[in-house]
């Protein structure tokens, strides 16, 4: 058996009503082998697949104990689908011992799913034993019970690392914020006249841009020929409209319109990114220098 004297095996088991009899018989078989079983009982297949998958995903396997899962429903498919919703869970529906050997050898399957309607108990027990006994990367029916060829072995040697990365970084096309997509993959240019800032123009006329400032940066008092709207995508900033004597503290999702000609000073409390759109072409006129702005903010602190 793949568990050895140095590593104990624990099985988390559950089934829906169509697989409960199969699950109960397999749990009894596991117990006869002195394997620890956490039996979650019977529930609908949405819930039981989720419960087993969540536990197997959340357990950190130690040098002493390895935790795997066993689920059963009418076909063995539904429970495996929902168990597979969780990171680190590799559930496979296995109708034959060959299925189990291939799933363990090729994909390091750690949750086995049984069909309570189409698999005999004798076949299910043999399939379960194969699941218990087959190490990852071992010869299997898919390799014709021979060692894997070198090119496939090289692929399998890195497959666990590669599999664990799947789904962790969403592609740009599914980033939830459509404005954020404008910044993804774009090169930003430093704003030479404002230390700590960088900008990427996304439209020239009227000007729109994604702007970034590092925490602690200050925009000295300035104004523009055209008014502008902005939406904060990341971080926090404070905007003082010196013309109107207004103070606005903005966080993620906050919006602010600054009219043309209004003098405003900005301090960035965190690394901040925002989308800004002017009513015309972008320009800037400073009404104070950085030293004066810093001095004034220190007085107000």
Q: What are phi and psi of 149, to 5 degrees?
A: -60, 155
**pLDDT > 80? residue 29:** yes
Residue 1 binned pLDDT confidence (cut-offs 50, 70, 90): very low
pTM: 0.55
**pLDDT > 80? residue 220:** yes
- Alpha-carbon dihedral angle through residues 159, 163, 164, 166, given to the nearest 10 degrees: 150
Residue 50's pLDDT is: 93
**pLDDT > 90? residue 56:** yes
- The DSSP string of 49-68 is HHHHHHHHHH----SSEEEE
**pLDDT > 60? residue 4:** no
Q: Please calculate the CA angle 21-22-27 and round it to the nearest 5 degrees.
A: 100
Residue 169's pLDDT is: 60
- Return the bridge partners of 255, or none: 231
pLDDT, greater one: 133 or 154: 133
**Of 154-168, 236-250, 259-273, minimum mean pLDDT range:** 154-168
DSSP letter at 7 equals: B
**pLDDT > 50? residue 2:** no
Q: What are phi and psi of 42, to 5 degrees?
A: -120, 135
Residue 171 binned pLDDT confidence (cut-offs 50, 70, 90): low
pLDDT, greater one: 213 or 176: 213
* Paired tokens of 294: 């810093």
Are 257 and 229 spatial neighbours (Cβ–Cβ below 8 Å)? yes
Are 204 and 221 spatial neighbours (Cβ–Cβ below 8 Å)? no
* Paired tokens of 189: 């240019």
pLDDT, greater one: 61 or 294: 294
């Amino acid at each position: 058996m793949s568990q050895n004297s140095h590593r104990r095996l624990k099985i988390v088991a559950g089934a829906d009503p169509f697989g409960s009899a199969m699950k109960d018989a397999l749990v009894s078989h596991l117990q006869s082998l002195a394997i620890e079983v956490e039996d979650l009982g019977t529930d609908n297949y949405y819930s039981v697949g989720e419960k087993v998958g969540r536990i197997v995903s959340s357990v950190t396997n130690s040098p002493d104990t390895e935790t795997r899962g066993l689920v059963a429903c009418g076909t063995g498919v539904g429970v495996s689908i929902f168990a597979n919703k969780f990171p680190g869970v590799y559930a496979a529906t296995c109708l034959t011992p060959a299925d189990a050997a291939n799933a363990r050898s090729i994909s390091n399957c750690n949750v086995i799913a049984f069909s309570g309607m189409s698999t005999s108990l004798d076949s299910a027990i043999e399939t379960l034993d194969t699941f218990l006994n087959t190490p990852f990367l071992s010869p299997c029916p898919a390799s014709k019970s021979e060692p894997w060829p070198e090119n496939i072995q090289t692929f399998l040697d890195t497959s666990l690392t590669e599999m664990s990365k799947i789904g962790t970084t969403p592609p740009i096309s599914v980033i939830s914020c459509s404005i954020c997509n404008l910044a993804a993959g774009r090169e930003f240019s430093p704003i030479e006249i404002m230390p700590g800032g960088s900008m990427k123009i996304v439209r020239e006329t009227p000007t729109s841009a994604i702007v970034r400032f590092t925490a602690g940066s200050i925009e000295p008092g300035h104004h523009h020929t055209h008014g502008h709207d902005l939406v904060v995508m990341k971080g926090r900033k404070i905007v003082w409209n010196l013309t109107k004597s207004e103070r606005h503290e903005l966080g993620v999702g906050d919006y602010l319109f600054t009219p043309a000609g209004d003098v405003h000073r900005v301090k960035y409390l965190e690394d901040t990114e925002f989308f800004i759109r002017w009513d015309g072409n972008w320009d800037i006129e400073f009404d104070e220098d950085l030293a004066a702005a810093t001095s004034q903010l220190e007085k107000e602190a």
